[in-house]
Structure 1
């Protein structure tokens, strides 16, 4: 998943913990193997290789994720577009390089979820070079699947944490909640809030996760599919929801909607904590 991942369980001993965690870890690895855009043998790589040529058959799980992507596209006014991952070819956040002149203009015609053809059996990318990217919700989906692998064993004390996207099975054994800190987006050694958690999910999107700075300007990895440029209004958005995939979709959508993100969070009706580009904090508790 390209990040620090952990399963925390309150059980009798270390051996029991490893045995209980094994199915959850296996499920995370299965999802990464199946949907990673960096693996030549993944489902997404097969779909990309057939872009502009032919439809690719897909199983029920993949079809469900595509349907969810369509829901996100509509709910975000077209900002949450899983075909926009192709823009990463222009932005090099690992080496701190901005797009070369003309790079975005070459890639933007390949961004457009509405032209993707899919149903419960197959998916077709009509333009050569088009790609899909489940990065906007894939990790959160894996969090939920891992948590379900644990709860199916009757485990009720612990949590799954994949790169800060978390799902809680239940409180500590003594009934007290887990105290989770929210990262200060401008001071990696500090937190801005602490949230007590027993059940549900907590996810955060921010401009501090992957970014580059050029001439004092910060460019984060969350890209507007209309322009190919990074969003800049929110420093951080955290959302609490029953499922990690729901919380994560809300945080990313709010980031993409920029100034309109606050209205979106209010309409969602879930607890959130958001910090805008000036450092102003907005929150809602339910």
Structure 2
């Protein structure tokens, strides 16, 4: 049976589309050779599904589920999982605790499911005691999570998958420029042969003009952290879904979206999230990291 992806050929490039990792995935290839495009399509599709199946918190048959249901016991991990946990630890340390993979449990108080209800402080306080990356113990063989706590690798897994696909395409088709776009998280394998940039539309609300939504990328990666698709409006006040793990409440002064350009997608994605978590200080923070960025407020 043919995998569930579609390939379209245009004048100067091919476009591969499929759904994975809770969103729309798109891969652009500046080659019209059917065999090359088909190989890239199969690689991208299967790699996205592999990472999703392995690290999604929505499944009950993967390593994330094993860790979260171990009830305080140690869970064996492989080298790939160890690398992701190590990167999460670096983000936690550099953000002074704002980037915390254990904070996903706050979704119990803030489901952002369209009901537009605001939790009370008692509900939030009950969850805050189950948050704290410093309580997670791990090495390259195992990880131990206190009973009742959870980790959510969703904050880095999609960007990780984008980088894997882009790197693999460099080896598979070294002469082609391949743009990997998983729901707005993007990495380009190499510059296009014609010297042109790839053009990318940010998924912004309709009232933003093209100046805000159209971006160009030649090589490297870009990732966007945005608020406008998941929010709650309570008594006329708008709450975005980016939550502060130390308070349990939405980040004050957070932008509508933060886009960061970096060498690889994992780096771009983490910096975009960290910028969003800075709230009013997002611009100053990203300037201090000396990266190119675009913020929409």
User: Comparing 93-102 with 105-114, which one deviates more in the overlay?
Assistant: 93-102
Report whether the alignment pairs 1:263 with 2:263: no
1:22 is aligned to 2:35:
no
The answer on 1:4 being equivalent to 2:24 is yes
Matching of residues 80-159 of structure 1 within 5 Å? 80-101=99-120, 102-126=122-146, 128-155=147-174, 156-159=176-179
2:98 equivalent to 1:76? no
For residues 208-260 of structure 1, give each alpha carbon's deviation from its aligned partner in whole angstroms, at most 9, with x where no partner exists: 13222222222222111011111242121111001011011001001112133
Confirm or deny that 1:160 pairs with 2:174. no
May I ask how many residue pairs the two structures share in their alignment? Answer: 274
1:241 lines up with 2:287 in the alignment: no
Aligned equivalent of 2:18: none
Tell me the distance in 1 between the aligned counterparts of 2:211 and 2:66. Answer: 41
Q: Report the more deviating stretch, 80-89 or 254-263.
A: 254-263
TM-score, scaled relative to structure 1: 0.89
71-80 vs 209-218, which moves further: 209-218
Tell me if the contact between 1:116 and 1:125 (Cα under 8 Å) persists in the aligned partners: yes
> Where does 1:225-236 land on structure 2 (aligned, <5 Å)?
225-233=245-253, 234-236=255-257
Equivalent residue for 2:197? 177
Alpha-carbon distance, 1:15 to partner: 5.0
CA offsets, 1:192-213, max 9 Å, x none?
Answer: 1533212111111121132222
The answer to whether the Cα contact below 8 Å between 2:262 and 2:291 also exists between their aligned partners in 1 is yes
1:85 Cα shift? 0.7
Q: Which consecutive unaligned segments of at least 5 residues does structure 2 have?
A: 1-20
Output the CA distance in 2 between the equivalents of 1:226 and 1:186: 34
CA drift of 1:39 comes to: 0.3
Q: Quote the offset at 1:261 in angstroms.
A: 2.5
Q: CA deviation at 1:185?
A: 5.2
Match of 2:295 among 274, 279, 286: 274
Indicate whether 1:194 and 2:214 are aligned. yes
Distance 2:236 2:171 in 1: 49
Residues 109-147 of structure 1 deviation map (CA, whole Å, 9 limit, x = unaligned): 000011111111111112x22000112211111110111
Q: Residues 200 and 25 from structure 1, CA distance in 2 versus in 1: closer, same or farther, beyond 3 angstroms?
A: same
Counterparts of 2:101 and 2:273, CA distance in 1: 12
Distance 1:190 1:129 in 2: 46
**Aligned equivalents of 1:152, 1:182: Cα separation in 2:** 28
**Structural RMSD (CA):** 1.9
Q: Quick one: which of 56, 60, 63 aligns to 1:40?
A: 60
Match of 2:77 in 1: 58
The answer to whether the 8 Å contact 2:258/2:276 transfers is: yes
CA distance in 2, matches of 1:56, 1:163: 31
Name the TM-score, length of structure 2 as normaliser. Answer: 0.86
